[in-house]
Structure 1
Amino acid sequence: MKDAAQPDVIVIGAGVVGLSAAIAAQARGLSVTVLDREGPAAGASAGNAGAFAFTDILPLASPGILKKAPKWLLDPLGPLSVPPAYAAQIAPWMFRFWRACSPKRVAHSTAAQTAMMDLSKAELEPFLAATGTLPMLRKEGNLQVYESDAELKASQPGWDARSKHGIEFRHMGAAEMAGIQPGLAPRFTHGTFTPGWYSIADPKLYTLALAEHFRSRGGAIERAEVTALATIDDGVEVRTTNGNTRRAAQIVLAAGAFSHRIAKSLGESIPLETERGYNTTLPADAFDLRTQVTFGGHGFVVTRLSTGIRVGGAVELGGLTLPPNYRRSEAMLKKAQTFLPGLKPTGGVQWMGFRPSLPDSLPAIGRARTTARVVYAFGHGHLGLTQSAGTARLVADLLTNQSPTIDIAPFSPQRF
């Protein structure tokens, strides 16, 4: 006989991916409890740029990034850095990343990423409508800016790939850019506007709204730090730091950058690393921002949220334990002042968060190697919010033994 307190599903992780999966499972008639070490929206789901970047079909692991990486790595405050204290530990992951940059693997990853983006875009608005969050959706586009004709031409292979997939964009000069986003510094001579780029009013408020919707439908969210999973006769046992255990018929592991630690308890070694992202959120009147602006050559974006203007991005491969280096936030803000001369830089709040990243830029979505009762859903890198609704659909399909809408073999947690 089933324990009345034992849910059908325990979701580990109350970020946007975990909560979206919990809601999707709940909609299939399953009883669901969510466990999280800090509570809803405590990690990257709170501090991201708020974009649904469905046009970002190209993996971070690519020949283009290899060309830029040596120059970027020489600047400790640049778009890509590895703290010296973490260099030895990150080396195996970097080797896998380098291998994923081969043309054949990039083509494979791009095809998988494209399918995931199409699914996520198709699922998004129905999911927002069902959760009462549709009014938070914005469709203001994205403006990628360049400092020369040569920089624009260097980006062309990526735009060619998007064009083949039917993604709408248009290249433009400074005058047309000014019509879309006034106030750019004259150093930016070219740009590409992508109108199909969506965003959310505020990622933290959105994730908290999902938590409230989940609770209103009878779901429970509990604060607990999960350390291990163990299979039992009729399900899976969840062990926590305080010595308590919980049981459920099925588990969804969506604990972001901490997921691989928990997966180890099932005998799996998944090369998940942490892209530490930094930002500064300024007051809402800091700049008259009309669209999200991407400064790709410098590795950061400026986004208008309902709660302020967020300046952030870049990648620091520094793991989970090193202290934050907020000089990175300061460096991006200083550049933003130069790039947007009217920007008011005062009154900001700094943030650092962990983006869970796998070497080939694809998430891990699928069943654990040792038990079909555990479903993994982590490793989305920069695209957790973007792919949250699509991931939720795939997870719900797996939990209810339905055929996934897309081929999930490229996302296999065991592909490494």
Structure 2
Amino acid sequence: MTATTTAPADQPSRTDLVVIGAGVIGLSIAHAALSRGMGVLVIDRTGPAAGASAGNAGGFAFSEIHPLASADTLMASPKWLLDPLGPLSLPLRYAPMMVPWMLRFAKASLPTRVAASTRAQAALMAHAKKVLEPAMALTGTSDMLRKTGQLQVFESSRSFDAARRDCDEAAHYGYSFRPLIGADAIAGVQPGLSPRFTHGIATEDWWAIADPKLYTLALAKSLTGKGGRIDTAEARAISVSSEGVTIHLADGTTLAARQAVVAAGAHSHRLAASLGDRIPLETERGYNTTLPPGAFDLRRHITFSEHGFVAAPLSTGIRIGGAVELGGLDLPPNYARSKAMLKKAEGFLPGLKTADGTEWMGFRPSLPDTLPAIGRASRAPNVIYAFGHGHLGLTQSAGTADLVAALLTGAPPAIDLTPFAPNRFKGLL
């Protein structure tokens, strides 16, 4: 299936909106704009669903309101970093480039900032959950939604107690959790796990998609079927004038639009820089292996919290992946990380069939305080940024699209966007 179309010869020279990025965020925004009567062109350097939107774990993790930037993460980081194949890795040759980002991360981990980030994340999550099903109905993708829930499992009571504290706070925002003590209680939710896991937490406030790549491609097909356009083109820079926005492409040509949205994932900060906005976007490189259907009787998402990865049941197989490698955009993949997670999963899920898997690496666009950038460019009010969702791009896609559509049409956004202001890091270092 292809979603790319060619513009007709009599196409107007200036369209209403150009969305840069054909991942789940960009395509969701394009749908929201199209439904509000705007003419929409989406461009992407490699086409729809070619980045993180293709290889994520497929979860709508609405209850994940706590920022990665926290004192707990800072305390655990030295231990994690000592294991090159553990939950967090920082290749030595990339470490100097990460220093400014890590300093901002440390500042975002102060208690007052963690509390503010949690409140902002909870507001975005609640809005994303509210608008997801109507958005899916609009795009004809409702049959891909699964409300199967999630299970976190733990080998130690200490890790379990720490996770329960986060769950207790999330409960104040309406999310429910069920503690499970003992292997038998865990088996009642998900049979077949190793008895080494003695504690668990189950939640039904975690939904899933049948397959994230197929979902993103379905969004692309729906968009073109409704009159939107998608072209393969690489945006290198953006300039503005009183008449609108000009997108400068890698082949030397330009596109003109009245407004533009930058939703290019991990590449977005380079376009923002062309408008004078220095946004500290980094990449959390994630790895996974997708095993064929039938590899295990997995009934819901399983999060191995102490090991930093998940097992996800998709319509296309069982996906084992996660972890974080802070390695930028240019270092070659280190697939030893996906192999290490698969080896662990083999012990955690006795009977898991590990043959014939497909390995993948993708770039999660991440900002130091775990919140995305949603708002206008500082010097170009007709350019809107929507990137930096980290692990939560799929989860927050419909909510982000609704908020961006409000900005595009001059309507009041459903939540306060101040915590997500793209320029919030200015002057921090």
For Structure 1 versus Structure 2, the TM-score category normalised by the shorter chain is over 0.9
For the residues of structure 2 that align with 1:52 and 1:353, how far apart are their CA atoms? 18
Quote the residue 1:73 is aligned against.
81
Quote the residue 2:138 is aligned against.
130
For the residues of structure 2 that align with 1:179 and 1:392, how far apart are their CA atoms? 38
Is 2:355 the counterpart of 1:346? yes
Moved more, 168-177 or 206-215: 168-177
State the AA in 2 paired with 1:11: V
For the residues of structure 2 that align with 1:137 and 1:415, how far apart are their CA atoms? 34
TM-aligned CA deviation for residue 342 of structure 1: 1.0
Q: Calculate percent identity across the aligned residue pairs.
A: 61
For the residues of structure 1 that align with 2:308 and 2:284, how far apart are their CA atoms? 13
Superposed counterparts of 1:32-181, under 5 Å:
32-173=40-181, 174-181=183-190
For the residues of structure 2 that align with 1:68 and 1:156, how far apart are their CA atoms? 17
Does structure 1 conserve the Cα–Cα contact (< 8 Å) formed by 2:284 and 2:365? Answer: yes
2:229 is aligned, of 214, 217, 220, to: 220
Superposed counterparts of 1:1-400, under 5 Å:
4-173=12-181, 174-400=183-409
For the residues of structure 1 that align with 2:289 and 2:97, how far apart are their CA atoms? 28
For the residues of structure 2 that align with 1:6 and 1:180, how far apart are their CA atoms? 54
Q: Deviations over 1:278-330 (max 9, x none)?
A: 00000011100011100010000000000000000000000000000000000
Structure 2 SS opposite 1:231: strand
For the residues of structure 2 that align with 1:101 and 1:233, how far apart are their CA atoms? 41
For the residues of structure 1 that align with 2:60 and 2:88, how far apart are their CA atoms? 22
Q: 1:290 to 1:3 in 2, by over 3 A?
A: closer
Moved more, 145-154 or 87-96: 145-154
Superposed counterparts of 1:393-412, under 5 Å:
393-412=402-421
Does structure 1 conserve the Cα–Cα contact (< 8 Å) formed by 2:136 and 2:142? Answer: yes
Question: TM-score, normalising length from structure 1?
Answer: 0.99
Structure 1 SS opposite 2:347: helix
For the residues of structure 2 that align with 1:135 and 1:176, how far apart are their CA atoms? 31
Quote the residue 2:6 is aligned against.
none
Does structure 1 conserve the Cα–Cα contact (< 8 Å) formed by 2:102 and 2:368? Answer: yes
TM-aligned CA deviation for residue 176 of structure 1: 1.6
Structure 1 outlier segments of 4+, above 3 Å:
none
Structure 1 SS opposite 2:32: helix
State the AA in 1 paired with 2:215: Y
Q: Deviations over 1:167-201 (max 9, x none)?
A: 11110122121011111111100100011110000
TM-aligned CA deviation for residue 3 of structure 1: 7.1
TM-aligned CA deviation for residue 232 of structure 1: 2.0
State the AA in 2 paired with 1:92: P
Q: List alignment gaps of at least 5 residues for structure 2.
A: 1-9
Q: List alignment gaps of at least 5 residues for structure 1.
A: none
TM-aligned CA deviation for residue 70 of structure 1: 0.9
Structure 2 SS opposite 1:38: coil
Q: Deviations over 1:191-239 (max 9, x none)?
A: 0001111000000000000000100011110001100000123100000
For the residues of structure 1 that align with 2:252 and 2:16, how far apart are their CA atoms? 22
Q: How many residues align?
A: 415
Structure 1 SS opposite 2:380: coil
For the residues of structure 2 that align with 1:3 and 1:235, how far apart are their CA atoms? 17
Quote the residue 2:7 is aligned against.
none
Structure 2 SS opposite 1:313: strand
For the residues of structure 1 that align with 2:11 and 2:341, how far apart are their CA atoms? 52
Does structure 1 conserve the Cα–Cα contact (< 8 Å) formed by 2:13 and 2:256? Answer: no
For the residues of structure 2 that align with 1:37 and 1:255, how far apart are their CA atoms? 9
Q: Deviations over 1:34-67 (max 9, x none)?
A: 0100000000000000000000000110111112
Structure 1 SS opposite 2:14: coil
For the residues of structure 2 that align with 1:67 and 1:164, how far apart are their CA atoms? 26
Q: Deviations over 1:228-270 (max 9, x none)?
A: 0001231000001100100000000000000000111101100
For the residues of structure 1 that align with 2:24 and 2:164, how far apart are their CA atoms? 32
Does structure 1 conserve the Cα–Cα contact (< 8 Å) formed by 2:54 and 2:213? Answer: yes
Does structure 1 conserve the Cα–Cα contact (< 8 Å) formed by 2:58 and 2:211? Answer: yes
